[in-house]
Chains A and B, each alone.
Chain A
């Protein structure tokens, strides 16, 4: 199902949670709403569900305005961050709840409800656990019960609020992969909220980065990662070093190299080409050069974290207060030049420069 969000705003008392959000979500898309807490991502998700009523704007499902439909009428599958399972019901009763509460006319027979619930439990790989109570399940299992329960009503869209928020790192990754497979199999339009960029980038077809109740950028994971549209997105995605710099006719110097100012959003009008600017450089966009070449900026190694394929190095550079974080290939590290307190040269290979307003 297609979802169109048109200029939706939401005020909580006097505090604006959403300030005019517009977004098109295609049928069968898997979309992540990504942002820090307070960015309005959950409010947007809940508005789509009908759990929150926007102060203004429209939400359309397949072209039909659902703004006046109640949660129950919208036929959405919603998985809550806390799972919100019914503690006093077995797994089977939880999953069949949505079918049992249907009006008599549209309610399937008891045998059908049972069969359908068991089928869904197989789908979420919980076959055989139908007699358990939620308290007897692990976190990952509870999340899958919540999903099966949401799927039981044959929703038109699946909405997931921080679906992996309460799980440990390993289960998170497993469940993420599993959710992707499930989505590909069912082809259901799915929107999930997360504050974890890795989760959004790995799982979603499209990532919508939100901040302060507005959409900063929406695009494929590669687009938002490689081509951040705003300073906020640059800083939020990946691990970045931040540098204060100055624009001079649209060019700024960062760690000895010159970079052009990032393209402005066409809606924002002419961009400032002179004055203070801020530059974002990802940890893998800084090159370490050996002493012999004597290029770039001199730096001193302060700490080395030699784990994994890429080695994280912290460097001190004169004139910068914060240590500079760099990731270097393991081979470079093994060549032996990176030692604590040894001197090196560094150079930025890429940077995103945004004029600083305030």
Chain B
């Protein structure tokens, strides 16, 4: 018999206190303290200095480039990621497991390796780049190259979030649509896509967040021309190499703010769709 005082608080699942405590300490050490240090460091600069660095044209261009290329890459990954997930969930074909494993490669591969491979492929003398060159399109060493690299690393996020939800769609739901006279296209558009929408939004958010901070795969293909194809994470490294810690932390803090705001907005959209669809 436990003491009378604790009876009202008893839970079915034990260890709430210790596991919450661990979670907070862990998140604190790994995530919050480093980020807080970052903010503190840049806050030490004073407002005017902060403002000067933040509105510096090179900083603004780099951050803007990072945001819009990440956004486009994540957007591209939505239809293609959904398609890849669809193929793997719906069809049984030889090599499906290999394809399934290949989706995770961007997770596993050192990003620098991916960057070098993509550069070799898309450079004007590369396999794909040569063709693009004929069409007058320059991929490597331009923002287009950045988008390609970010699309590459973002793909698994969309596929892996959409896939389980797609597997969950009851075959009977599609059959129901068919008995009601809906064609395949109508079934996909009106029944399947809305059902996976929450996962698509999550996948988009993850791919986007990952792409904003991506460094390794981009620096090789981007060409890193200031004001044109220089991404924010690279600018941070450059500032660090110049021993300009204040500049580096300011750019980092700005990126942190932008990422955080975007994630909050996406979470809000997601909460809205969840509520609409009744369940998570």
Contacts and interface: CB of A to CB of B under 8 A. Distances in A.
A70 B180 CA distance: 11
Interface residues of B, number: 22
A47 to B, nearest CB: 13
Interface string A71-85: 110011110111011
B279 A87 contact: yes
Given A88-B278, A153-B181, 14 more contacts: A49-B179, A51-B179, A72-B178, A72-B179, A75-B181, A81-B172, A84-B173, A85-B176, A86-B190, A86-B191, A87-B277, A97-B177, A101-B182, A133-B277
Interface in B156-199: 170, 172-173, 175-183, 186, 190-191, 194-195, 197
Contacts of A86: 173, 176-177, 190-191, 194-195
Contacts of B197: 88
In the complex, which range does the number of interface residues on chain A fall in?
Answer: 20 to 34
Contacts of A149: 176, 180
Contacts of A152: 180
B200 to A, nearest CB: 13
A77 B278 contact: no
Given A80-B175, A84-B170, A84-B175, A98 B277 contact: no
Interface string A117-155: 000000000000000011110000000001001101100
Chain B interface main SS type: helix
Contacts of A135: 278-279
Interface string A38-56: 0000000000010100000
Nearest to A102: B181
A76 B278 CA distance: 29
B276 interface: yes
Interface in A279-298: none
A77 B191 CA distance: 18
In this complex, the member of A82, A87, A100, A134 whose beta carbon has the largest number of chain B beta carbons within 10 angstroms is A87
Contacts of B178: 51, 70-72
A13 to B, nearest CB: 14
A152 B182 CA distance: 13
Given A88-B195, A97-B190, A133-B277, A82 B181 contact: no
Contacts of A84: 170, 172-173, 175-176
Interface in A53-111: 70-72, 75-78, 80-82, 84-89, 97-98, 100-102
Contacts of B186: 101
Contacts of A89: 194
B277 A72 contact: no
Interface in B259-280: 276-279
26 contacts: A71-B178, A72-B178, A72-B180, A72-B181, A72-B182, A78-B179, A80-B176, A82-B170, A82-B172, A84-B172, A84-B175, A84-B176, A86-B176, A86-B191, A87-B277, A88-B197, A88-B276, A97-B177, A97-B182, A98-B180, A98-B181, A100-B190, A101-B186, A102-B181, A150-B179, A153-B181
